A and B are shown apart, each in its own frame.
Chain A
Amino acid sequence: MNIITNKTSQLIYGSSFAVATLLLSSPSLAATDAQQPCIGNSAAITGPAAFSGQAIRTGAEIAIEEINQQGGVLGEELRLIQYDDAGAPPRAVDNTRRIALADNCIAILGGYHSTAAVAQVEPVHAIGIPYIGVWAANTSVVENGRDPNFMFRVSAKDKWVARFLVEEALKVSPTGKIAFFYENTGWGNGALPDVNAAMSEAGVALVAAETFNWNDQDMTPQVMRARDAGAEVVIVWALDREGNQLLRSMDRVGYMPTMIGAWGISGNLGELAGPLANGVRVMQTYSFMGQQSELGESVLARLKADYGIDDPREIRAGSGIANAYDAVHILADAIEIAGSYDWEAVRQALYEVNRDGLIASYRPAFDASDPERQDALLPEHYLLTAWHDGVLIPFAGSPYDTGD
Chain B
Amino acid sequence: MSTIMQYILSGLAIGGIYALVALGFHIMWSSAKAVNFAHGDTLTIGALLTIMLLAAGLPLWLACLLAIAAGGVFGTLVERFAVRPFAAHSGSIGWMLATIAIGIMIESLATIETNGYSLPLPSPGVERAVRILGAGVYPQELLIPLVAVLATLGLKLIQRHTLVGRAMQAIAHDKQAASLMGINVNAVVALSFGLASLLGAAAGILIAPVVQASATMGVLLGLKGFAVAIIAGITSAPGVLVVGLLFGVIEKFVEGYISTAAREIVGFSLMILVLLIAPQGLFGKREVVKV
Contact = CB atoms under 8 A, between A and B. Distances in A.
A100 B100 CA distance: 37
A222 B220 CA distance: 20
A189 to B, nearest CB: 11
Contacts of A268: 117-118
Contact of A184 (B118, B219, B261): B261
Interface in A229-253: 240-241, 244-245, 248, 251-253
Nearest to B217: A215
Interface in B236-260: 252, 255-256, 259-260
Given A224-B6, A224-B256, A241-B212, A254 B117 contact: no
Interface string B101-132: 00000000001100111111000001001010
Interface string B42-77: 000000000000000000000000000000000000
Interface core residue of B138, B207, B212, B261 (most chain A CB under 10 Å): B212
Contact of B120 (A50, A184, A271): A271
B129 A221 contact: no
A221 B10 CA distance: 9
B111 A48 contact: yes
B13 interface: yes
A376 B80 CA distance: 58
B116 A49 contact: yes
A210 interface: yes
Given A217-B211, A268-B117, A268-B118, A248 B219 contact: no
Given A218-B13, A244-B118, A46 B6 contact: no
Interface in A162-219: 184, 210-219
Contacts of B214: 215, 241
Contacts of B210: 217, 248
B7 interface: yes
B14 interface: yes
A222 B216 CA distance: 23
B141 to A, nearest CB: 8
Contacts of B255: 221-222
A241 to B, nearest CB: 4
B267 interface: no
Contact of A252 (B116, B136, B252): B136
A253 B215 CA distance: 28
A222 B111 contact: no
B115 A51 contact: yes
A71 interface: no
Contact of B111 (A46, A251, A252, A271): A46
B123 to A, nearest CB: 11
Interface in B203-239: 207, 210-212, 214-217, 219-220
B3 interface: yes
A240 B117 contact: yes
Q: Which of B3, B136, B220, B261 has the most CB of A within 10 A?
A: B136
Contacts of B13: 218
A240 B118 contact: yes
A273 to B, nearest CB: 8
Contact of A254 (B14, B136, B207, B260): B136
A254 B129 contact: yes
Given A215-B219, A224-B6, A240-B118, A47 B111 contact: yes
Which size class do A's interface residues fall under? 35 or more
A226 B180 CA distance: 64
A113 B216 CA distance: 18
A58 B210 CA distance: 34
B172 interface: no
A274 interface: yes
A337 interface: no
B137 interface: yes
A221 B118 contact: no
Contacts of A254: 129, 131, 136
A267 interface: yes
A274 B122 CA distance: 10
B261 A51 contact: no
Contacts of B219: 215
A220 interface: yes
A252 B120 contact: no
A48 to B, nearest CB: 3
Given A50-B111, A254-B129, A218 B216 contact: no
A265 to B, nearest CB: 12
Interface string B131-146: 1000111100000000
Interface string B1-25: 0010011001001100100000000
A374 B68 CA distance: 53
Nearest to B263: A213
Contacts of B215: 48
A224 B181 CA distance: 59
A49 B7 CA distance: 33
A257 B264 CA distance: 28
B252 A50 contact: no
Interface string A28-71: 00000000000000000011111100000000000000000000
A272 interface: yes
Contact of B118 (A216, A241, A274): A241
A215 B14 CA distance: 12
11 contacts: A48-B216, A215-B211, A220-B136, A221-B252, A222-B255, A222-B260, A244-B118, A252-B10, A253-B136, A267-B117, A274-B120
Interface of A: 46-51, 184, 210-222, 224, 240-241, 244-245, 248, 251-254, 267-268, 271-272, 274
Given A213-B260, A272-B120, 16 more contacts: A47-B111, A48-B216, A50-B115, A51-B115, A184-B260, A184-B261, A212-B260, A215-B217, A216-B260, A219-B260, A221-B255, A244-B118, A252-B10, A252-B129, A252-B135, A253-B136
Interface of B: 3, 6-7, 10, 13-14, 17, 111-112, 115-120, 126, 129, 131, 135-138, 207, 210-212, 214-217, 219-220, 252, 255-256, 259-261
